[in-house]
Amino acid sequence: MTTIATLGSHCALQVLKGAKDEGFRTLVVTERKRERFYRRFKFIDDFLVLNRFADITKPNSISFLKKRDAVIIPHGTLISEVGSEEVENELHVPIFGNRNILRWEADRELKEKLTREARLRSPKTFSSPDKIDRLVIAKLPGARGGLGYFLASDAESYRKNLKELQRKGVIGKNTPVFIQEYVVGVPVYFQYFSSILKNELEFFGIDRRYETTVDAIGRIPAEHQKGLLPSYIVVGNSPLVLRESLLEEAYQMGERFVDAVKKLVPPGMIGPFCIEGVYNEDAEFVTFEFSARIVAGTNLYISGSPYFSLIYDEPMSMGRRIALEIKNGIESKSLGKLLT
């Protein structure tokens, strides 16, 4: 009997609750320090307790998971704590979705390649601080939730802010920094589910991130902001719905993304993904990131999203949608299509 497993972090609760609702056995892979936390939830049947997440590739872990016929639902923590290469090459357990794409999310150049292929409008990038001619945001590699990101208006403010963050130890001396145009606009994160069984793209929901301290500065009058250097650490998410006339474009972006993945990263996009960007002053959507797996913003909709209530008659979280797809795969004897 298939067990649905995931790393204890990020969106594990909704994934495992959704799996239980669809009738699966559930398993959390948890770091020892958080075992007690996950023991609180009755819908988790099984525990693989590790010292650190990276140990999931060890033979003992693999055999523990294989014995339980586990399918792993990948999320951001799998990428950031185990590593996309390790997942690709050493995690010898079936993964729901396309394990090859996780690398594309973690690598800035691959990411840009896929974004271009999907014809998603992107911010300008700057190869050197000296070329900065507008407001930019400097980003660090990896999926660590915005830690160390900073703003700059020119080469001088770039160097000043970089030094300040290096001094604080937030950024290492040799950390590569990626400089991107800061598009003035409201952040919107589009959450999709790509069903290869139904050959259909479903639009799940929308969120915006709640980031410290950048979402705090708007509450501080300009005169008290002197010296403030905002940080971009994600601590949560808040819900949004979109103007209906913009929804069609959101579907189209999602479909172009699915097409691009099919072309560049076989066997294509399986399951949840997210396109992340802002609407600029012309109400054009500019994409600055994507996530080719479930995002934590879906935690908003554990009891169902407005958009999924247009499609499903019972409350359907993204976690449950994944489990439903796996159940449909098993019932139609096409589970193999969903796993890599």
As a whole number of angstroms, the distance between CA 19 and CA 320 comes to 6
Choose between 153 and 175: whose C-beta lies nearer to a copy of itself: 153
Q: What residues numbered 266-285 form the site for a copy of itself, per CB under 8 A?
A: 278-281, 283
Binding-site member from 23, 32, 37, 66 for a copy of itself (CB under 8 A) = 37
Q: Which range binds a copy of itself by CB under 8 A, 34-42, 53-61, 107-115, 191-199?
A: 34-42
CB atoms within 10 A of CB 212: 14
Q: Output the smallest distance, CB 335 to a copy of itself, in A.
A: 26
If the CB atoms of residues 207 and 325 are measured against a copy of itself, the closer one turns out to be: 207
Residue 77, preceding peptide bond in cis (omega within 30° of 0): no
How far, in Å, CA of 239 to CA of 305, rounded? 9
Interface pattern 138-177 for a copy of itself (x via CB under 8 A): -------x-----x-x------------------------
State how far the Cα of 333 lies from the Cα of 336, in Å rounded to an integer.
8
Supply φ then ψ for residue 256, to 5 degrees: -65, -35
The footprint of a copy of itself on residues 3-32 (CB under 8 A) is: 9-14, 17
**Which of 92, 74, 89, 84 minimizes the C-alpha distance to 111?**
84
Residue 147 phi, psi (nearest 5): -60, 125
Give yes or no for residue 47 binding a copy of itself (CB under 8 A).
Answer: no
Stretch that binds a copy of itself, among 62-70, 96-104, 111-119, 207-215 (CB under 8 A): 207-215
Q: Least separation, in Å, of the C-beta of 226 and a copy of itself?
A: 8
What is the nearest approach in angstroms of a copy of itself to the Cβ of residue 103?
23
Is 310 a binding residue for a copy of itself by CB under 8 A? The answer is yes
For residue 117, the minimal CB distance to a copy of itself (Å) is: 22
What is the maximal distance between C-alpha atoms in the chain? Answer: 64
Window 66-125: residues binding a copy of itself (CB under 8 A): 77
**Which residue, 92 or 144, has its beta carbon nearer to a copy of itself?**
144
- Rounded to whole angstroms, the Cα distance separating 41 from 141 reads 34
One-character DSSP codes across 75-113: -HHIIIII-HHHHHHH--S-BBS-GGGHHHHH-HHHHHH
Q: Which is nearer to a copy of itself, 328 or 340 (CB)?
A: 328
Least distance from a copy of itself to the Cβ atom of residue 145, Å = 7
The site that binds a copy of itself (CB under 8 A) totals a number of residues, namely: 80
- Three-state SS at 223: helix
- H or E element in which residue 14 lies: helix 12-21
Counting contacts by CB under 8 A, is residue 228 touching a copy of itself?
yes
Query: Which CB sits closer to a copy of itself, 66 or 220?
Result: 220
Cβ–Cβ under 8 Å, residues 50 and 28: no
Which C-beta is closer to a copy of itself: that of 66 or that of 163? 163
